Structure 1
Amino acid sequence: MNKIADIYGEVTIQEGALWGANTQRSLENFPIGTEKMPKEFIEMLCELKRACAVANQELKAVEYDKTLAIIKAIDELLMQDFMQHFPLAIWQTGSGTQTNMNANEVIATLASRILGSKVHPNDDVNHGQSSNDVYPTAMHMMAVNMIAQDLIPVLDKVIITLTQLKRENTLSYKLGRTHFQDATPMTFAQEVSGWIVIFTDAKKQLEALLPFMRQLSIGGTAVGTGLNTIKGFDEQVVRALSQSLKQEFTVCENKFFAMGFKDAYVSVHGILNTLASNCLKLTNDIRFLSSGPQTGLQEIKLPANEAGSSIMPGKVNPTQAESLAMVCVRVIGNHQTITLANSHGNLQLNTYMPVMVYSMWQSIRLLSDGLDSFNTRCLAGIEVNTEKMMDNVTSSIMTATFLNEKLGYDTTAKIVKEAYQDKKTLKEVVVSNGHMTAEEFDQYFDYSKMIQAK
């Protein structure tokens, strides 16, 4: 065990730990929950520290040998199981200061070993930086990277699967439903086309808003003025990050805004919230359409991935839909968290950033994983019961809506009422009442004309 003393007193750190006194105090002072800083965030924080070292090297703000040691230390750190060195809870100071100092201390320890002399966590690793501009920069980087590398590729997979499902069912006639009641005919392809837009729109909206998330606050230091940094530092850091992460990051024009407000998080998560809301509706639709297998709608059949009941043998449940539905509910809850967290930032700094990071991380992670599983284990295996669908169309009296143009609404309403009460077909009622002959009805009553405008 190592004992370290500073102006706040003495702390004991376990043997072999790379962190220092500030990290240790946070461990002891915030023993709250089990949620830790996400790996994806820590990775981006380290990438940011590396870019800062590159900038300090180019601007000659820190000794050249020290910046080399810092860069090498970070490179080595990211090649190992680095999360063991970042044990801090989400539930800490709202600026994320302890996590920034955790990174400074770990990197400084490794860099000191490489250099063979002292590399200071604050004077060297954190040179020209503050937790107040570092943390919001890293949280933007994390969201951009996860959305670009994880979520958008999954959206593309779902779009491909649904497009194929649509292509295969252009002639699969079915009954539309409104208010849980029979409505007019459509094709299953038309229904699926609506599902596709959920994901194509989400992708377009994310790509449209990601440029705002790529605006970084680094260089603002404590309150946005850039105190204790060098002119051009922000541009050098952003250039280094863009090169290393293959993303077009930019310097935020107004760092006072960037540090006090988190509107990019609210806006981008708003798209995730919409995606979750739409997907929740989709999972419910799929569960209704697959209900049965004998007494429900039975229009589609889902893959039988596992046993659905511990007491009812052979029962198969829509488990992938249920799993994704729970993901959606969680994401919708996270949006409320992020919205409130942004609105409660005070003066020059938002102090709810760790919970915003965790909420954004969880939403992207759950949607990426949940949709990927849903696509592979549900959507890709949907079997369409075209016979049942067509039977519903031919037996429904709501197809009488097509008669409105020829017979008028009032006359058609009487036909529908008689057909329903006397359990007759529409054709039987139309012919028996002298509105058309059987041949005229067959020629006029064309389902293919009911699924499109004139």
Structure 2
Amino acid sequence: MTSPGSTPDLATRTEHDLLGDREVPADAYYGVQTLRAQENFHITDVPVSHFPRLIEALAQVKRATARANHGLGALDDERAAAIEQACAEIVDGELHENFVVDVIQGGAGTSTNMNANEVIANRALEILGHEKGDYQHLHPNNHVNLAQSTNDVYPTSLRLGILLTFPALVESMDHLITTLRAKGAEYSQVLKMGRTQMQDAVPMTVGQEFNAWATTIEEDVVRLTRTASAFQEINLGATAIGTGITTDPRYAQLATKELSDLTGIDFVVSVDLVEATSDTGAFVTFSGILRRIAVKISKICNDLRLLSSGPRAGFHEINLPAVQPGSSIMPGKVNPVIPEVVNQVAFEVIGNDLTVAFAAEGGQLQLNAFEPVIGFNILESTRIMTRAMNTLADRCIAGITLNEDVLEDNLRRSIGVVTALVPVIGYGPATDVAATALETGRPVADLVLERGLLDQARLTSLLSPASMTAPYRATPTGTMPALSEEQMDSGEITRLPEDPAQNL
């Protein structure tokens, strides 16, 4: 077995652990415990290096602990400097190919922690002028893992990894919001029929539809950011179960401060390290927000597929950009492949959230052994949702056009417009008009004029975009558009009475 990127000369070095001696590829920066993990965990074929921010987080945690141990006199100058340099190189993107263990593993993340310890130790040995594996000079456990346990390093690294990863998702959400808002502005004056329960409802503008999609995503940018702040409370210094065994009393605060200084993120030590070591509540909450976003974005994609259906036998109100041929047998067919792929991403994220919930619930006593699958699913959900948002914005929303003839015809033929007339002609006459329109197929406007319920000027005013797509006050001569709070609170305009009948 050779390490990634190694030459096939099969040269090895001998390393020793609890279970005995093993031959490790000579050029590998990882060691015997990583080798055993590789052999044990053939699960996903996804190594931890698949998430570079997690590797960066591991290195920053190890760097912070080295600084703390050095500051407390537990680690000498030479070793501390070598460990710091090795960690800095990893943060800069080097050596990531040596983080080879499967993301899903037994042992509560021990294999990932030891993978980091061994890579850092062997690179530090090189910096000090020694051979890889010559651990008498600098040891993965004794020096790199000094005053640490997987049980505080791994969850702290997961928290930091998520904090480093999720801003890209926020950026992609902002990009999608901006793209939707641009379409909202472009089509702010184009009328269409709204629908409830797949039936004609009342008119709206196309712009309102796009803006509503933007708003629903915008809400969760705030929620996601607020929820992520819970990851700033960490258990670094808790060691095995939260008692802090093997550490200096000052270590937890100092290591946490060093991590804050290195990352620019204000971390705090949990008030109860025993509780924090077994608790996964922050992961559950964050994953729940990802699920919420996925549900919303999938609903938007459902709407897009419906509104673009056809082109001859569907809604056909909008045109999605044609990005590829849609069928191997039906000439001319173009499918809504971008909304479809985003739907599938949403399904995956929803399923990942269920896995996180089961894994969080499955912990026992002073530790949750299932944090690897929790971390994997949250990081993967964040990664694919980021890509999905950008894909939807750039490959679909930005290129949407309207079929205005279809929109206008739907509006003309719909009985839903009669709702705008109810405050003036009354519910009974409006119901009669609607029934006749439905039975005969005649436009509502023609029937209203024919029955003398309204004159042309008043009808035109009531069926204007301003009257049909926003609150308004009916008056004897026309309609008054919705008023702003500033207008209503000024001395010139009085608020409307509470009883709607008094507005007629």
TM more than 0.5 = yes
Partner of 1:111: 124
- SS at 1:365's partner residue? helix
Structure 1 residue 35: deviation in Å? 2.7
Contact persistence 2:189–2:465 (CA under 8 A)? no
Partner of 1:42: 55
C-alpha distance after superposition, 1:329-383 (max 9, x if no partner): 0000011011111111111101101101110111000010111111111111111
Out of 158, 162, 173, the position equivalent to 1:143 is 162
CA distance in 2 between counterparts of 1:67 and 1:409 reads 82
Structure 1 residue 262: deviation in Å? 0.7
Q: Is 2:19 aligned against 1:8? A: yes
Contact persistence 1:224–1:256 (CA under 8 A)? yes
CA distance in 2 between counterparts of 1:223 and 1:369 reads 37
Out of 96, 100, 110, the position equivalent to 1:97 is 110
CA distance in 1 between counterparts of 2:170 and 2:301 reads 20
Partner of 1:310: 328
Structure 1 residue 286: deviation in Å? 0.9
Partner of 2:260: 242
Distance 1:29 1:447, change over 3 A: closer
CA distance in 2 between counterparts of 1:410 and 1:381 reads 44
Structure 1 residue 78: deviation in Å? 4.0
Partner of 2:80: 67
- SS at 1:338's partner residue? helix
Aligned residue runs from structure 1 range 134-283, under 5 A: 134-148=153-167, 150-283=168-301
Amino acid paired to 1:245:
T
Amino acid paired to 1:187:
T
Amino acid paired to 1:20:
G
CA distance in 1 between counterparts of 2:163 and 2:463 reads 54
Amino acid paired to 1:85:
N
C-alpha distance after superposition, 1:189-216 (max 9, x if no partner): 1111211122211111112122211111
Distance 1:163 1:439, change over 3 A: closer
Contact persistence 2:238–2:244 (CA under 8 A)? yes
Structure 1 residue 440: deviation in Å? 5.0
User: Tell me, which stretches of 5 or more residues in structure 2 are unaligned?
Assistant: 1-11, 131-136, 473-504
Out of 330, 353, 358, the position equivalent to 1:335 is 353
CA distance in 1 between counterparts of 2:17 and 2:178 reads 59
TM-score, length-normalised on structure 2? 0.86
Partner of 2:89: 76
Contact persistence 2:413–2:442 (CA under 8 A)? no
CA distance in 2 between counterparts of 1:145 and 1:324 reads 23
Q: State which drifts further: 58-67 or 406-415.
A: 406-415
Q: Is 2:362 aligned against 1:344? A: yes
CA distance in 2 between counterparts of 1:121 and 1:72 reads 15
Structure 1 residue 444: deviation in Å? 4.2
Partner of 2:140: 121
Distance 1:442 1:62, change over 3 A: closer
Q: Is 2:72 aligned against 1:54? A: no
Structure 1 residue 326: deviation in Å? 0.6
Amino acid paired to 1:102:
N
CA distance in 1 between counterparts of 2:303 and 2:290 reads 20
Amino acid paired to 1:98:
S
Structure 1 residue 447: deviation in Å? 4.0
Contact persistence 2:362–2:368 (CA under 8 A)? yes
Contact persistence 1:74–1:107 (CA under 8 A)? yes
Partner of 2:35: 24
- SS at 2:204's partner residue? strand
4+ residue stretches of structure 1 with deviation over 6 A?
none
Distance 1:109 1:406, change over 3 A: same
Q: Which has the higher helix share?
A: 1
- SS at 2:241's partner residue? coil
Partner of 1:388: 406
TM-score, length-normalised on structure 1? 0.95
CA distance in 2 between counterparts of 1:7 and 1:295 reads 70
CA distance in 1 between counterparts of 2:176 and 2:18 reads 56
Amino acid paired to 1:287:
R
Q: State which drifts further: 100-109 or 75-84.
A: 75-84
Structure 1 residue 143: deviation in Å? 0.7
What root-mean-square deviation, in Å, do the aligned CA atoms of Structure 1 and Structure 2 show? 1.8
Distance 1:431 1:80, change over 3 A: closer
Q: Is 2:303 aligned against 1:285? A: yes
CA distance in 1 between counterparts of 2:345 and 2:459 reads 50
Amino acid paired to 1:168:
E
Aligned pair count reads: 453
Structure 1 residue 279: deviation in Å? 0.3
C-alpha distance after superposition, 1:262-298 (max 9, x if no partner): 1111111111110000000000001111122233222
Amino acid paired to 1:24:
L
Q: State which drifts further: 210-219 or 354-363.
A: 210-219
Out of 436, 458, 470, the position equivalent to 1:452 is 470
Contact persistence 1:94–1:350 (CA under 8 A)? no
User: Tell me, which stretches of 5 or more residues in structure 1 are unaligned?
Assistant: none
Amino acid paired to 2:139:
H
CA distance in 1 between counterparts of 2:416 and 2:93 reads 64
